[in-house]
Amino acid sequence: MKTKSFYSFPEVVAHLKTGEPTLYHSSQTSTVIPFEKLEGVLKSNTVMGNLSTIKGSLEMLENGNLKVTGFVTWKEAKEFCLSKGREIMTSPTEELAGVLAGIATSCTGERSFGFKNLRSQIVELTYINYEGAEVKLSAEKKLDCGVDLSSYQKDFSHYVSYKNAPYPRLEFETDLMTGTEGQLGVIESAVLKTIEHFPETYIFMLLPKWEDNFEPHLEVFKAVQSFRNQVRACEFLDSNSLSFLPADKNPGNNNDVLFLEIKKDEFENIYENLLSHLTLINEDQIFEMNASKCRELRVSVPRAIFEANSRMGVTKKGTDVQVSAERFRDLLLFYREMGQKGVAYNLFGHFGDAHLHFNYMPTPDKNDFCNEQLESLYSKVLEWKGSPFAEHGIGLLKRKFIAPFYNDHQKSVFRELKKKFDPKGQFFPEGFMTC
């Protein structure tokens, strides 16, 4: 396996013309590419192409949209927008990940509850095709790629309310590069919608441990669905997740925590019309936390879990499952069963969207056992018609789990797209389109 860093897009074009199979990546923050263990996973002639060395740029357009070119992190994009009195609507937990890489994986983050998914926020993007030519795509134009997509899109309609389906949407031009994980080209720039910035605050609720009683959790879940215009995020951290933090940084005190992001001037409205109507949570279990402290907490938990896994020398065995509201109880019950298998675990994520991350913390000898448990989960998700990977992509680690979610419609479209947009088989040849 070879590695290559690119310092400009002309260098990428020159590389494309060699036809060498390449997995393009940026900040190596992906949870679905085992960067530390790629030998033997990728084909020996696949190049690891580093795009994080391409200096990025940010531009606020006159209409308030944000143009991102090259390697820019979500943190940089957020700070730039705030300096202009604007803000982006996507908020991935890992702020050091690249924006364009996030588009390639159709990442979502915690603000999808109020602002929908990243896919809906893309105005246009430019990518480099296999010939080295720049191609501009618009979110306002229907995708006309010379491939019959009627059956494919009919299947996708079931997932229209989900963050991401098991396969890309492929309805508008920008969908060609959104969620296709670099299998059809290299994204050079993108234009994203932004909104006017208003000060925000966070409402925290202390709940009993979900393993013992998740009825209060479900009461909040049901109640908050009617407040998507006021509540930007509805997030969850269980007591196991919080236990990785120092005691003085842990707001849970051996409880689960569920929190809402709202605009500061919405506080009275949310308290009066939502929180005061809850019957399973007492008033003394509800408190407010400022934005900076909450963001620090939200980022610290998954990082602490990652570090703990690294110390044990294992790759995280985590889920990225989203189900319908009607199946959320079933998912929690199944996660409860998974937690009773004698392997350490934790649960956190995007509660309002029925999209949680259950993470096993296995010792090396439990790796295979955990994989078996995950296979059982994904079989259930298929039965429930949920989405197995709603946020972080498929990459290499999840290929074996995604295959059952594809029927002949998806497989046929993938083959045709690869034939047309990647005739040399040079864009991430090990990606899900070749499952």
For residue 37, what pLDDT is reported? 80
State residue 189's pLDDT score: 98
Structure tokens at 386: 């949920």
Does the pLDDT value for residue 240 go beyond 70?
Answer: yes
Nearest CA-CA partner of 257 in 201, 332, 205: 205
Q: What is the mean pLDDT of residues 157-171?
A: 96
The predicted structure's pLDDT at residue 248: 87
Beta bridge partners of 87: 195
CA–CA gap between residue 73 and residue 95 (Å, rounded): 7
C-alpha 228: how far from chain center: 19
- CB burial of 24-53 (b: ≥16 within 10 Å; e: otherwise) equals bbbbebbbbbeeeeeeeebeeebbbbbbbe
Residue 177 has pLDDT above 80, yes or no: yes
Segment (H or E) for 205? strand 200-207
Residue 81 has pLDDT above 70, yes or no: yes
The pLDDT score that the predictor gives to residue 201 is 95
Q: What is the pLDDT of residues 41-65, one digit of tens each?
A: 888 899 999 999 999 999 999 999 9
Residue 71 clears pLDDT 90, i.e. is over it: yes
Whether residue 374 is predicted with pLDDT greater than 90 in this model: the reply is yes
Q: Which phi and psi (to 5°) does residue 83 adopt?
A: -65, -20
**d(Cα 124, Cα 141) in Å, to the nearest integer?**
10
Q: Give me the chain's average pLDDT, please.
A: 94
Position 259 scores a pLDDT of 95
Question: Which of 214-218, 297-301, 325-329 comes out lowest in average pLDDT?
Answer: 297-301
Residue 145, Cβ density class (10 Å: 0-12 exposed, 13-18 middle, ≥19 buried): middle
Q: What is the mean pLDDT of residues 246-251?
A: 89
pLDDT at 202: 96
Question: Tens of pLDDT along 89-123?
Answer: 998 888 899 999 999 999 988 899 999 999 999 99
Superfamily of domain 200-384: FAD-linked oxidases, C-terminal domain (3.40.462.10)
- Tokens 């029925």 map to which residue? 354
List Cα–Cα distances, 160 to 103, 393, 410, in angstroms: 18, 17, 16
Q: For strand 355-360 and strand 345-350, is the pairing parallel, antiparallel, or unpaired?
A: antiparallel
pLDDT of 315 above 70: no
Residue boundaries of the structural domains of the chain: 2-196+412-434, 200-384
pLDDT in the model for residue 43: 86
For residue 234, pLDDT over 70 is answered with: yes
Q: pTM of the predicted model, to two decimals?
A: 0.94
Lowest mean pLDDT among 36-45, 201-210, 376-385: 36-45
Residues 394-411 have a mean pLDDT of 94
Burial of 64 (0-12, 13-18, 19+ CB in 10 A): middle
2-196+412-434 shares its CATH topology with 200-384:
no
Residues 6+ apart with CB under 8 A from 24: 49, 51, 182, 186, 427, 428
What is the predicted pLDDT for the residue at 36?
79
Of 154-163, 256-265, 294-303, the range with the lowest mean pLDDT is 294-303
Tell me the C-alpha distance between 127 and 103, whole Å.
12
Count Cα neighbours of 380 within 13 Å in the Cβ-side half-sphere.
Answer: 22
Q: What percent of the chain has pLDDT over 90?
A: 82
What's the CATH code, domain 2-196+412-434? 3.30.465.10
* Mean pLDDT along residues 3-20: 97
How far, rounded to the nearest angstrom, does the alpha carbon of residue 255 sit from its chain's CA centroid? 26
* Predicted local distance difference test score (pLDDT) of residue 299: 82
The Cα-based distances of 382 to 24, 43, 45, 385, 391 in angstroms read 30, 30, 34, 5, 17
